[in-house]
């Protein structure tokens, strides 16, 4: 079954998928970490691959940026291709002084300024949360490798270049970092009864205004990839 956004046939995609925003990062992960990786999608240059990692069949596919984009790709992966475990891997901006560049942030919960959950006609505000099983496996992997990590709440926003400093209001509520995809992913997964987790590398700090160098991004993102792949392989 193909869709307007994915040329894969049923069976081409594993039940567990890693989801970077950048399709070129999906290509790098497939080439660097997966054995016998086969490309299943090139539509819109949103690359997808399936291979094996530590004997486990795993796929990786780009999603683009924002709730609208990951909402489309994750929905199709779940409902058209039978994916059961979705792990978002990306970057985030730290919002607390103790959240340092290169730290791995694991989103136990996702707050939002988006209207994504409006489609469900809920009589209140929906708290989007990660799968505890996936989260606990990711924590175990980070501990095993001794990578610095923090678990908590993130803010999933539609806005990258904000006109105000509203992030400070979220920070007062203990929110760790800002990103743009987790809320839609968690909503889609919850609605379908499957598992989802979003983990991020802190690439910049809204508090100190520091930013990672290109080399630091490379190393930091590699740590995150190892955590996500290890968690995926342990399912």
For the segment 25-84, what is each residue's pLDDT rounded down to a tens digit? Answer: 999 999 999 999 999 999 999 999 999 999 999 999 999 999 999 999 999 999 999 999
Distance in angstroms (rounded) separating the CA atoms of residues 19 and 94: 21
Is 11 within the bounds of a domain? no
Q: Known catalytic residues?
A: 204
Give a yes or no: residue 63 inside a domain: yes
Q: Give yes or no for a contact between 141 and 226, defined as CB atoms under 8 angstroms apart.
A: yes
pLDDT tens track for 86-126: 999 999 999 999 999 999 999 999 999 999 999 999 999 99
Is position 44 within any domain? yes
Could you tell me if 199 and 228 are in contact, meaning their C-beta atoms sit under 8 angstroms apart? yes
Nearest alpha-carbon partner for 14 in 32, 43, 37, 31? 37
From the list 56, 231, 232, the residue with the least C-alpha distance to 149 is: 231
Cα(115)–Cα(233) distance, integer angstroms = 34
Q: How many domains does the chain have?
A: 1
Q: Does residue 3 lie within any of the structural domains? A: no
Instruction: Give me the mean pLDDT over the 2-31 stretch.
Output: 96
Residue 192 pLDDT: 98
Specify the pTM. Answer: 0.97
Residue 20 lies in a domain: yes
Q: Supply the CATH number for residue 34's domain.
A: 3.40.50.1580
pLDDT grade, residue 219 (50/70/90)? low
In this prediction, what percent of the chain has a pLDDT beyond 90?
95
Is there a domain that residue 129 lies in?
yes
Residue 218's pLDDT band (cuts 50, 70, 90): low
Residue 146 lies in a domain: yes
Its domain, for residue 183, covers: 16-233
Asked if the structure places residue 10 within a domain, the reply is no
- Give me the helices (H) in the chain, please: 23-33, 67-79, 132-145, 167-172, 182-192, 214-233
């Amino acid at each position: 079954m193909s869709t307007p956004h994915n040329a894969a046939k049923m069976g081409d995609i594993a039940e567990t998928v890693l989801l970077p925003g950048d399709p070129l990062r999906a290509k790098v992960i497939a080439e660097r970490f997966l054995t016998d990786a086969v490309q299943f999608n090139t539509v819109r240059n949103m690359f997808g691959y399936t291979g094996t990692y530590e004997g486990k069949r795993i796929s990786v596919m780009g999603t683009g940026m924002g709730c609208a984009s990951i909402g489309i790709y994750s929905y199709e992966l779940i409902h058209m291709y039978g994916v059961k475990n979705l792990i978002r891997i990306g970057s985030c901006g730290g919002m607390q002084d103790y959240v340092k560049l290169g730290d791995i942030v694991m989103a136990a919960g996702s707050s939002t300024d988006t209207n994504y959950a409006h489609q469900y006609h809920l009589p209140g505000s929906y708290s989007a949360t990660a799968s505890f099983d996936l989260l606990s496996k990711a924590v175990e992997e980070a501990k095993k490798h001794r990578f610095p990590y923090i678990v908590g709440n993130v803010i999933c926003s539609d806005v990258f270049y904000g006109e105000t400093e509203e992030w400070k209001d979220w920070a007062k509520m203990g929110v760790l970092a800002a990103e743009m995809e987790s809320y839609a992913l968690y909503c889609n997964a919850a609605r379908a009864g499957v598992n989802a987790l979003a983990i991020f590398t802190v690439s910049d700090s809204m508090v100190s205004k520091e930013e990672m160098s290109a080399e630091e991004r490379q190393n930091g993102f590699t740590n995150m990839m190892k955590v996500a792949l290890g968690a995926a392989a342990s399912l």
